[in-house]
Amino acid sequence: MRENRTGRKRRWPTVLLAAVATISTSGLVLLLATSGPGLGHFRSPEARQAYEDAYAEALGRLPEPTETHDVETSFGTVRAYGWVAEGQADDVPVVLLPGRAAAAPMWGDNLPHYLEHRTVYAFDVLGDTGLSEQQIPLRDIGDAARWVDEAMAGLQIERAHLVGHSQGGGLAAAVAVRHPDRVASLALLEPLLTLGTLPLSVVLASIPVSLPFLPESWREAALNEIGGVEDEEVDPDDPLARLINVGAESYNASGLPNPVQLTDAELEGLPMPVYVAIASDSSLAGGESAAERAQLIPDAQVKIWPDTTHSLPMQVAPALDAELASFWSAHP
């Protein structure tokens, strides 16, 4: 059985995070989706209740927030959680943007480490699963970056160390390009479509997962291939796994804008320090080619993490979080 460097088995959420990210951005899904921007919504009141129950259980894994906010923006109300520590209020805070369908509870493995050093805020993404309420369609990633800027303003966060994983990494990059004054530093953890395209093999593997009429055994095998795990490594009872799974089934996010690949000029023009983490195995960010493109950023710290997949924030949480803490301290 394969294990990561920490000796922990890879968990079922690592499969689901990778699979949902792939399916939601693949050409197949774009062809099947309705045309034009829409509003993210739960498919039924029963689906919403099932999701809220799973969300509450997954959120219970996190340290208890000191603040809970519903922040009004031009596109809807953003659910934000704050962990404000006495004695750290004057430090630049950290703002977290989650991967597709994971919402704020995805940071359960990382938050305890972050809170040792910083005040932290975690957002649920507008147009995706979570407790944010979208009211106006998002036309493109620029609109998505705008709601992040407005949510930070509503929380009186002038500047933050912005951290994004997967699709959240693509969103964080869009904020950095369009609202650089908000970003003290940028951390891109396996950023989807930001530095490169999805590998063709991964897109093809997502097809059995996207088509419900295919045999379940095919779907499970495709999930494991995308996530880079073996059958015996999964834990279907994990609360975050249930949250992601229920969210993918209960919520229609067809109007959620996909990240876009940054141009060479945009990468070269990023004025803030940037930390880029790329997975060594089953990377959805682009692997070595993505790491190479990241070198165009003037002030970039780029690392390919060994023995990790797309969900490396959970797989190597202590080591990654220690590097981020040092990175933030070096760039106040």
Per-residue pLDDT for the chain (332 aa), expressed as one digit of tens each? 333 333 344 444 554 555 555 555 554 444 344 445 689 999 999 999 999 999 999 999 999 999 999 999 999 999 999 999 776 656 899 999 999 888 999 999 999 999 988 999 999 999 999 999 999 999 999 999 999 999 999 999 999 999 999 999 999 999 999 999 999 999 999 999 999 987 766 666 665 555 555 565 655 665 555 555 555 555 667 888 888 888 878 888 887 898 999 999 999 999 999 999 999 987 889 999 999 999 999 999 999 999 988 888 988 999 999 999 999 999 98
Residue 209 falls within a domain, yes or no?
A: no
Into how many domains does the chain fold? 1
Residue 271 falls within a domain, yes or no?
A: yes
Residue 219 falls within a domain, yes or no?
A: no
| Containing structural domain, residue 193 | 36-199+252-330
Residue 44 falls within a domain, yes or no?
A: yes
Determine if the pTM surpasses 0.95: no
Residue 8 falls within a domain, yes or no?
A: no
Residue 92 falls within a domain, yes or no?
A: yes
CA distance 26 to 39: 20
Burial status of residue 197 (CB atoms within 10 A of its CB: 0-12, 13-18, 19 or more): middle
Residue 220 falls within a domain, yes or no?
A: no
CA distance 165 to 305: 14
Residue 16 falls within a domain, yes or no?
A: no
What CATH number did the domain enclosing 292 receive?
3.40.50.1820
Give the contacts of 189 (CB within 8 A, at least 6 positions apart): 163, 164, 165, 166, 169, 277, 312, 313, 320
